[in-house]
Amino acid sequence: MNIDSTPSAQARANIGDQISKDSPIPLYKQLKMAIEELIESGRWSPNSQVPSERQLCEIFQISRITVRQAINELVEEGRLVRSHGRGTFVGNALLKKHLLPLIGFSQEIQARGQKPGAKVLQFDVTQAPAVIAKALEITQEQKILVVKRLRLADFVPMAVEVVHLPVGLCGDLKKSDLENQSLYEMLKRKVSIIPSRASQQWQAVACPLNEAKLLGIPDKSPVFRIQRTTYTKEDVPFEYVDSFFRGDKYVFHAELYNENEKVFNS
């Protein structure tokens, strides 16, 4: 869609060709998909006002009933929010966190057109606990850097992460290096470390009290706990991270392929 960056400007743009009356897909579903694409691409940013029902009717050349059905579903799903007397606005939509490719939080947030941020809560050099030493393939006598950060998107808390880095691999990082900065970009620039692959597990858990306070959510709220070991291109583990992502802000997305397709089709 060749459209402006704000929904009010988009109301005047030529985006009506996204709807095909010859398609077997119902018109309201086509409209819903078109609006979702605008939101997910970041062209309709969170909290911005969307065109009125009348404007959407004009843009897409469809009936008010069709527009209202699409809007109602998006409101029910939390993608849009109605404000009495003001209009309809883009909600604080779920961040679609792709499992592939391997990129950092900052890159994901930037790809959505939002401003990433990081507040450093802890920055310590200590000996590695057994489970961390095993993940990083080092001895417990070796030093690690422990960095706890609150991750933000447009200044809204999204995740609490604790990163463990072998001091011997990661060089002379400073606390100031990681305040509102991308760790992966910093490692690339300072010590030429580029993440190549990761082993990751995630589970839905009740948020611990301390993390809930940092995220601004009630105690025991559902969150994703993600634990990951990340490797260099030489297959050396350089990072073990334990994170809590807000369950009301994230949806995890992956494309799955059948490697045995030929077997099933034979």
Q: HSE of 191 in the Cβ direction (CA atoms, 13 Å)?
A: 16
56-96 pLDDT tens trace:
998 888 999 999 999 998 887 778 888 888 899 988 755 55
HEC secondary structure over 228-242? EEEECCCCCEEEEEE
Nearest 5 degrees, angle CA 200-CA 138-CA 175? Answer: 75
Name the pTM for this structure. Answer: 0.61
177-232 pLDDT tens trace:
888 888 888 888 888 898 888 888 888 899 999 999 999 999 999 999 989 999 99
245-266 pLDDT tens trace:
998 877 666 666 665 554 444 3
pLDDT-derived band at 115 (thresholds 50, 70, 90) equals confident
Flag the least confident range among 9-23, 96-110, 180-194. 9-23
DSSP category for residue 6: S
